[in-house]
Amino acid sequence: MYFVFLRHQWKQFWRGRNLAGSIISKILLGFMALYFLLLAIGLGFFLKELITQTFPAKNPVFIFNGFIAYYFMVDFVFRIQFQELPTLSIVPYLHLPVRKNALVNFLNLRAAFSVFNFIPLLLFLPFCFTEIAGISGKFAAAMYAVVIFSLTFFNNYLVLYLKRKSVSKVWYLVVAIAVPAAFFALEYFKIISIAEGANWVLRSIAVHPLRGFIFLIVPMAIFIINSAYLRSNLYVEEISKKARKRAATDYPFLNRFGKTGELVALEIKLILRNKRTKSLVSFGLVFMFYGFIMFKEPDLVNDKFMIPIFAALFITGNVILGYGQLMFGWQGGQFDGLLANNIDFKTFIKAKFLLFNIFMTFVTLLSFLYAFISWKLIPIIFATYLFNIGFNTSLILYLASYRRQRIDLSRGAMFNRQGSGFSQVLAAIPMFVLPLIIFWPFYYLHKPFAGVAAIGLFGLAFLLTRNLWLNIITNKFAQQRYKIAEGFRE
């Protein structure tokens, strides 16, 4: 039966509408996968030399054990962003005498051949069977391999399960990103040591190798959970019921905004149900860690706020920078219907403002955790939040009226630069340069906190006069709507 599924998938690929683009995409992905696999093999065989050169005073096995833990945490985050869900058009098979378990097993087995699953095996196993085997014996090295194998497939099936669940409940994805972020934050502030914890566990397995079999329980459990979830959602009646349920899903906190809240709820569903939109938003959340690189303690102690302000602008506004600059294009396929519908243009634009507010408020509240680095980051983050929510949202929506390229939501996120261009870079310049221009005179006068306050007040002024800018943007959109629609049809 599995060969039948594969044959059908093969025919579906060659009979697809965008065959040339699909072939080019597959070739590029193949070369990239081959590059990373060859890189993993090279690093795997020279891992001991790299460790001893980088950490000459430390035990290579201790560094290796910690590296395993760090790798799989980063691997988990990257899988959430880049790993594709295995697909199969299930509905045509449901009225045929095809066992449901066969469909479920095909999807799960297909997911096992992800390139993400081969990289850790090629990277870590050479060190295990050369160094670990020489120190603790071949059986201990084999148990190391079992642990690596278990963690690899645990990440694989856990990410697939979370992605499927996040279609209807976005908090699954939020928690999935928040958990590794919390561990990295605890490590950063020296509350716990991930490397020491991993070393304690793996050294225990080196001394008592049979304990390695315990790790097999973890991937088996998540595999069973994944299979059960897929099996319970295979029936036609269940699929239609779920679809109706999702179509009627409401976000209670948006009810108070009336028609505007209803439009925001529809756009949130659009984001969660399409790969590229979900990829942009989730990648924006990943960029919250940008502060650990850019927020330097010496700059904050000496009140040198130029770089922290730039970083805070990016952290609190990168979601709207990526998603907002392609605004209206996301709904390009339904734009004619929106124009023909009885939707007030002002309400439509207000919904975009509200959506940006929700995104940035959520990200800003999470960003306040950087206060553990320095309390000075609180006014900086809050000031850039006001600037983004006041000035930048208005600027982005105004410039969006000039963009006429429709975004094809049916296309995947990998290597998809549709709608991206140099104009996006130009539009981002005032978003980041203007706050620094406002701040510079105060910094020159040795009044850095006054400069931060000026940035916040500038954004607050736009926020308080939002109705004025809303009317300007609405009028501009009304003037451009037919040109936008014409561009979307091309």
pLDDT tens-digit profile of 262-275?
888 888 877 777 77
Residue 420 and residue 403 in contact, taking contact as beta carbons nearer than 8 Å: no
Over the chain, what is the mean pLDDT? 80
421: which 2 tokens?
């261009």
Q: Lowest-confidence range among 156-170, 183-197, 214-228, 250-264?
A: 250-264
d(CA 399, CA 393): 10
pLDDT tens digits along 174-190: 777 778 878 877 887 77
Residue 94: per-residue pLDDT: 64
Residue 165: per-residue pLDDT: 81
Residue 239: per-residue pLDDT: 40
Residue 446's region, left for phi above 0, alpha for psi from -120 to 50, else beta, is: left
Residue 170: per-residue pLDDT: 65
Q: Is the pLDDT of residue 440 over 50?
A: yes
Rounded CA Rg of the chain? 26
Residue 251: per-residue pLDDT: 62
User: Which residues have C-beta within 8 Å of that of residue 35, sequence separation ≥ 6?
Assistant: none
Q: Lowest-confidence range among 84-93, 264-273, 396-405?
A: 84-93
Higher pLDDT, 329 or 74: 74
Model pTM? Answer: 0.59
* Longest distance between any two alpha carbons in the chain, whole Å: 79
User: pLDDT grade, residue 245 (50/70/90)?
Assistant: very low
Per-residue pLDDT, averaged over 187-204, amounts to 86
Among residues of the chain, what percentage have pLDDT more than 70?
80
Residue 396: C-alpha distances to residues 304, 306, 317, 337, 475 (Å): 29, 23, 11, 23, 15
Q: Is the pLDDT of residue 240 over 80?
A: no
Residue 145: per-residue pLDDT: 93
Residue 150: per-residue pLDDT: 95
d(CA 305, CA 299): 7
User: pLDDT grade, residue 68 (50/70/90)?
Assistant: very high
Higher pLDDT, 27 or 364: 364
- Terminus-to-terminus CA distance in the chain, angstroms? 42
Q: Is the pLDDT of residue 80 over 90?
A: no
Residue 222: per-residue pLDDT: 92
d(CA 154, CA 162): 12
125: which 2 tokens?
């196993």
Residue 187: per-residue pLDDT: 82
Per-residue pLDDT, averaged over 209-230, amounts to 91
Residue 162 and residue 173 in contact, taking contact as beta carbons nearer than 8 Å: yes
Residue 16's region, left for phi above 0, alpha for psi from -120 to 50, else beta, is: beta
Residue 249: per-residue pLDDT: 42
Angle at alpha carbon of residue 323, lines to 321 and 329, rounded to 5°: 125
